[in-house]
Amino acid sequence: MSNKRFATKLVHGGFTPDGQTGAVNVPIYQTSTYRQKKLGEPTGGWEYSRTGNPTRAALEKLIAELEGGEAGFAFASGMAAISAVLMLFNAGDKILVSSNVYGGTFRVLDKVFTRFGLKYELVDSTKLNNIEEKIDSSVKAIYIETPTNPLLEITDLRGVAEISKKHGILSIVDNTFMTPYLQRPIELGIDIVVHSATKYLGGHSDLIAGLAIVANGTGLADRLAFIQNSTGGVLQPFDSFLLIRGIRTLGVRMDRHVSNTEKIVSYLINEPAVNRVYYPGHPSDPGYSLNLTQASKGGAMLSFELAPGYSPEKFLENLNLIMLAESLGGVESLVCHPASMTHASIPADIRKKIGISDGLLRLSVGIEDADDLIDDIKQALEASRR
């Protein structure tokens, strides 16, 4: 599939029609184990579904093709994928992490992995010199999001890749917000890409899944495969099937997500009730020019801060179409309050320092009619006046 265009890879990657039946969809191999005809000779190489399952294998091959990596690995959640990647490191190792990182990533580092001796340091990765000056012999990786969650800040992927290679450390990027449809970090020199596939890749708010992809020539494929098999947080066959189905429509969904987002941003930046809009796909955003060099669009996530005199609580209570909910990336529009939801695990002083105010709202724009979404925002803003 390497010579096919991306939209074709989405539909045909990872699997060819079943040889026995001609089925055009990946079969759901709902089995835990496989018959062995002779001792030490598994049928087709399959032994036990924690180690490998044909449905999951098709998904893993698909995401590796889409991200341009050597191998892909499917996990039971995005946090399971991130945790497996963090298990590549040893006690005493330090990881530099984007200061504006997803709360769950911060929590697992701060509350779980530090108990086993892994160290981390938050750094403003939007300025490459901040990363460079923090690197010493203990630093073994740089972990970033771009755009970040929830302030949509942009980090130079090529620059991070160059720094990591210069110092012989790994570069890791959470590509959940952009998906490989809009941004492919491995092609820019990054070593590992992770996804919460629950979001845009699944696309329908009906599964929980995580993915990790490693670049060619890193020697990481066997190591991550060992961790996946040993710790066992694998994605089940039915969810693997659902995720493949979701990925097939990623291109058409993302086109609609992005066009809706651009319309909403154009409205919000001129709305007096809104103090600031965060969206790297708009020319007014500080990360706009850099984002254009590494992604095809600005994505479908935006955040905005209400002006003084407007209540976030009342705004959220008065939305009729847009739903207040955790998560993002589904066909329906979802809004959340980062300070009390996705980033509540980050201490208040750190939230304040990095710019996550109590008036900040994060919007995952769905594929509804954009004018209906704007109408819903307008009436909720009016109702939120203090």
Say which of 9, 94, 199, 253 is annotated catalytic. 199
Based on the residue annotation, tell me whether 136 is a catalytic residue of this protein: no
Instruction: Sort residue 40 into left (φ over 0), alpha (ψ -120 to 50) or beta.
Output: left
Say which of 29, 102, 120, 278 is annotated catalytic. 102
What are the angstrom distances between the C-alpha of 112 and each of 106, 119, 293, 345? 10, 11, 36, 13
Angle between the 250-268 and 237-248 helix axes, to the nearest 10 degrees?
Answer: 60
- Which amino acid is present at 330? G
Based on the residue annotation, tell me whether 199 is a catalytic residue of this protein: yes
Say which of 34, 50, 248, 314 is annotated catalytic. 50
- Which amino acid is present at 32? S
Based on the residue annotation, tell me whether 288 is a catalytic residue of this protein: no
**């089940």: which residue's tokens?**
236
- Torsion, CA 212, CA 289, CA 7, CA 55, rounded to 10: 10
Say which of 93, 156, 174, 191 is annotated catalytic. 174
Residue 219 sits at the vertex; the CA angle it makes with 215 and 225, to the nearest 5 degrees, is 85
194: tokens are 């992770």
- Torsion, CA 309, CA 310, CA 312, CA 316, rounded to 10: 160
Based on the residue annotation, tell me whether 50 is a catalytic residue of this protein: yes
Catalytic positions are 50, 102, 174, 199
